[in-house]
Amino acid sequence: MPGLTSKSSVTTGSASRAEPVIDVSNITKTFGETTALNDVSLTVGRGEIVVLLGLSGSGKSTLLRHLDGLDRPDSGSVTVLGAAVSSLKGRPLRALRGQVGFVFQQFELVGSLTVLENVLTGALFRVRGPRLGLWGYRRDLKLAALGHLDRVGLLAQAYQRADTLSGGQQQRVGIARALMQNPRILLADEPVASLDPESSAQVMALIREIAIDSGLTVVCSLHQVDLALSWGDRIVGLRHGQVVLDTITQGLSKQNVMEIYGRVTTSTGELDAIETELGTELGTGEAGEPDEQGELDLATFSSARDNRR
């Protein structure tokens, strides 16, 4: 693909100042005919809040799965918290996974279990053997789980079945489950793609708040430029399994991002698709009004951002 090698020209701020906790170097992953990741490198420092931005099929999920050892690269290496994830097996792999929380797009709760039990499954790597039912968990774990549920504002729903909750509430349970691991890194795969705008704002704000409070490193995949700009500290753009953008969000406008995508995109059809999916229009000028969604997001996150700085 000609014209795509200008990676360096769109990379403005990838150099991590803090010590790296995630170090991906030159990984390639193919599923049958399709190349999901093509020579991807990424370094994330401690406490960074990074957004993986891209269309569906751009390789965001695959990259996240590699960070948790759920997928293995065909070539290249993945180092997380000093461990070579791509070669870990058995207990050491589980120990690493325990330190990395994962929040899923579809929440992935067991609907027939109570909310509390779902949160407790986040502690499984710390106990031996299988667990069935609430009585299987130690009291201190239960109290910790209740604490995390309180943190996400769902203490009153602790003993309800998970499938009685709304989507936004279920995702907050998913976050509580990840917190139950006492993670050092939080990975989130399109955490709000299945939610309505209001719940999305709540969930994203919650993730950022928790990340800052607990000093978590966060890698979160998103597909909305507005949200990515207002929420993340740094944006890594993926396209066809390649990193096409890696920059801090400070001072970056939606226009900039779209221009970058415009530069690396060859066909107009694809640009249309990016426009549709990233929810913006090219060429509306800098004075172009942000849509309602964008405003809402900015309003919600500016406070969290101010807290940090």
Q: Structure tokens of 121?
A: 């499954």
Nearest to 200 by CA among 177, 219, 228: 228
Contact region for another protein (CB under 8 A) — 24-32, 73-81, 110-118, 204-212? 110-118
How many residues are listed for the chain in this entry?
309
Nearest to 172 by CA among 151, 196, 142, 156: 151
- Decide if residue 59 touches another protein (CB under 8 A): no
Closer residue to another protein, CB minimum distance, 8 or 112: 112
- Decide if residue 132 touches another protein (CB under 8 A): yes
How far is the CA of 285 from the CAs of 229, 237, 241, 290, 299, in angstroms?
Answer: 17, 22, 29, 11, 22
For the bound state, the minimum distance from the C-beta of residue 74 to another protein, rounded and expressed in Å, comes to 21
- Decide if residue 142 touches another protein (CB under 8 A): yes
For the bound state, the minimum distance from the C-beta of residue 60 to another protein, rounded and expressed in Å, comes to 11
Q: Where are the beta strands (DSSP E) in the chain?
A: 20-31, 34-45, 49-53, 75-80, 83-84, 100-103, 185-189, 217-222, 234-239, 242-248
- Decide if residue 269 touches another protein (CB under 8 A): yes
C-alpha to C-alpha distance for 45 and 217, rounded to whole angstroms: 8
Cross-strand bridge partners of residue 246: 11, 236
x-or-dash pattern for another protein, window 184-213, by CB under 8 A?
Answer: ---------x--------------------
Contact region for another protein (CB under 8 A) — 36-44, 94-102, 202-210, 238-246? 94-102
The pairing of beta strand 185-189 with beta strand 100-103? parallel
Total number of residues binding another protein (CB under 8 A)? 60
Q: Structure tokens of 247?
A: 């920059």
- Decide if residue 57 touches another protein (CB under 8 A): yes
Sole binder of another protein in the list 81, 205, 248, 273 (CB under 8 A) = 273
What values do phi and psi take at 33, rounded to 5?
-85, -30
The pairing of beta strand 75-80 with beta strand 83-84? antiparallel
- Decide if residue 146 touches another protein (CB under 8 A): yes
- Decide if residue 178 touches another protein (CB under 8 A): yes
- Decide if residue 168 touches another protein (CB under 8 A): no
Residue 226 near residue 280, CB atoms below 8 Å: yes
- Decide if residue 237 touches another protein (CB under 8 A): no
Sole binder of another protein in the list 81, 83, 95, 212 (CB under 8 A) = 95
Show contacts with another protein in window 20-39 (CB under 8 A). Answer: none
Q: Which residues bind another protein (CB under 8 A)?
A: 55-57, 68, 70, 93-98, 100-102, 104, 106-113, 117, 121-122, 124-125, 129-132, 134, 142-143, 146, 149-150, 155-156, 158-161, 163-164, 174, 177-178, 180-181, 193, 223, 267, 269-270, 272-273, 276-277
